[in-house]
Structure 1
Amino acid sequence: MRKLLDAYSPHFADRLALFALLVLVVAALAAPLISPQNPYDLAQLNIADGRLPPGTHAGSDTATGPQHYWLGSDDQGRDMFSAILYGLRISLTVGLSSTLLALAFGLSLGLLAGYFGGWIDTAVMRIADIQLSFPAILIALVLLAVLGQGVGKIITALFAVQWAYYARTARSAALVERNKDYIAAARLLGLSTWRILFRHLLPNCLPPLIVVSALQVASAISLEATLSFLGIGLPITEPSLGLLISTGFQYLMVGDYWISFFPGIALVLLIVSINLVADRLRDVLNPRLQKQ
């Protein structure tokens, strides 16, 4: 294990970021097992337990019996600790799903544009340029206004927002690689175009795309939180971290800080740890960027 950590990074900050990310991911995956309450199950909620401060022992009228609200409760009587764990699940699901879909689509278009050039390159890049000329949040707002609320719909909106980044990155990498000797040798051997694209060109274009993907996961999570904060991302029955922050924002002035504070801390830790791990991943994949 120590050798693996040293290979990842000798720096304490990088290890701490990786450890924090692993803890958050494991906590999100294990949410049904370790959370004292299912915040999406209305039968387990008691409105009388709404806005309880951290450390309160209550909940005698709920289906699950008395419980300890270590991080307090929100206005619906949700246990904040449980809500944060389930909110992390939603954030990671949305971030990873939208990123993987956008990566697959954008990478395919970028490889085709970079390898073939001509009208394919022109068409793909002009569409990507048009999309990138608009703020990502504006495109997502328009799409969600049409699609409505829900996890699947916000994943679709974020996929539509992100694909252009991967297309441009893949196209730039393909332009560099397509004139190298190994591609020329593959052509001389009579290999099919698709085999050259996905067996030879793709592996050499992946390193920068992996880094972009890691960064875009954090960006997608942040954008989902923003949209949910604005009330158009996810429904109140499936509160994400952004929606929890939005719910608690109206109670800050009366002193109920915990409804926004603890989800906000979880969101910041998740985004910062992903960004730091992605930054280190960039150095690992490109030895020339290794810090001495």
Structure 2
Amino acid sequence: MTAVYPEISDVRPDEDRAVFVESPLRRFVSDFSDSWIAVFGLAMLLAIVFMAVFAPLIAPQNPYDLSTLDLLDSRLTPGEALSSGRIAWLGTDGLGRDLLSAIMYGLRISLAVGVLSALIALFVGASVGLVAAYAGGWVDAVIMRIVDIQLSFPAILIGLVLIAVLGSGTEKIIIALVAVQWSYYARTIRGTALVERHKEYIEAAHCLALGKFVILFLHLLPNCLPPLIVVITVQVAHSIALEASLSFLGVGLPVTEPSLGRLIANGFEYIMSGKYWISFFPGIALLLLILSINLVGDQLRDVLNPRLQR
């Protein structure tokens, strides 16, 4: 029997290959969905963000509107009815605020402070790390020694000192969190940029006489972003936890802008008298928020780094 071979003109490699080519976005979604724990964490994070963003619309009460508060509703147990007849499913705090509503509003402040401080710290740290890696020599040595000195101190200690100097307030605590976090980004991007700066595309940019700003931020920075995406998820969770710690100690956000940490602190004095729910439920909300961010960040690390894929 004579073998029949296809004519060369009948072979269409481009069309055949297109069937098996998977878009980067679809591949990323497929790799991310491999872990049900990560999908669960993402779903939980999206639910928390939804409650925080739409808190004014879905919260049963505006806990910071004094006209809606009644001291007769102070420290009601979970499931007990308010004087208005509405059920306080998570109970009330010492001021008569519905805890479910207070947690939703507290999530808004905690998320806003954590995300905003992490993004500003990312910009500052990435700029410093790129300059250190690209310049090299004594510039790199001086910047890295400053980073090493800052990383040697506990983050909460630096935050306490800065808050004591700057004072309390949302803007002040964001500045303190940025000052604490920028060194993490600087060290991460500096290590990645040291590897990238000697590759062919950087040499080609030099041959084309491109400016240093263009080389740093349009060529070098985009190729250093994958590890930074993982770091920023971890640092957002770290910012939220640090802000909650400072607010719990009474040096973070003011009483008029309570975050989850401030809500936990408000109920701490009632724990010994059995009013556990005032601190317990805000603490659970803080735990779930940080846990969901960490679960998503852990899977992002596996997806973006092929060496860590399971």
Return the match for 1:220 from 239, 242, 264. Answer: 239
Return the match for 2:160 from 141, 148, 151. Answer: 141
214-223 or 190-199: which moved more? 190-199
Q: 2:105 & 2:232 partners in 1: Cα distance?
A: 23
State the secondary structure of the residue aligned to 1:220: helix
Return the match for 1:109 from 120, 128, 131. Answer: 128
Return the match for 1:49 from 47, 50, 73. Answer: 73
Return the match for 2:212 from 189, 193, 196. Answer: 193
Match of 2:23 in 1: none
What letter matches 2:82 in structure 1?
A
Does the CA contact (< 8 Å) of 1:9 and 1:280 recur in 2?
Answer: no
Does the CA contact (< 8 Å) of 1:49 and 1:73 recur in 2?
Answer: yes
Stretches (4+) displaced over 4 A: 2-5
Q: 1:3 & 1:19 partners in 2: Cα distance?
A: 19
What letter matches 1:10 in structure 2?
D
Match of 1:274 in 2: 293
Q: 2:104 & 2:136 partners in 1: Cα distance?
A: 46
Q: 2:97 & 2:76 partners in 1: Cα distance?
A: 10
TM-score by length of structure 2 reads: 0.89
Return the match for 2:61 from 20, 37, 44. Answer: 37
Match of 1:285 in 2: 304
Q: 1:90 & 1:245 partners in 2: Cα distance?
A: 14
1:189-268 to 2 correspondence within 5 Å?
189-268=208-287
Q: Does 1:21 align with 2:40?
A: no
Q: 1:29 & 1:3 partners in 2: Cα distance?
A: 30
Identity over aligned residues, as a percent?
64
Q: 1:183 & 1:164 partners in 2: Cα distance?
A: 25
Q: 2:78 & 2:29 partners in 1: Cα distance?
A: 36
Q: Does 1:77 align with 2:96?
A: yes
Does the CA contact (< 8 Å) of 1:39 and 1:78 recur in 2?
Answer: yes
Match of 2:34 in 1: 10
Report the Cα offset of residue 290 of structure 1.
Answer: 1.2
Q: 2:183 & 2:263 partners in 1: Cα distance?
A: 30
Structure 1 unaligned spans of 5+: 61-65
User: How many pairs align?
Assistant: 285
Match of 1:92 in 2: 111
Report the Cα offset of residue 17 of structure 1.
Answer: 0.7
40-49 or 133-142: which moved more? 40-49
Structure 2 unaligned spans of 5+: 1-25
Report the Cα offset of residue 3 of structure 1.
Answer: 8.8
Report the Cα offset of residue 134 of structure 1.
Answer: 1.0
What letter matches 1:94 in structure 2?
V
Match of 1:181 in 2: 200
Match of 1:164 in 2: 183
Report the Cα offset of residue 220 of structure 1.
Answer: 0.5
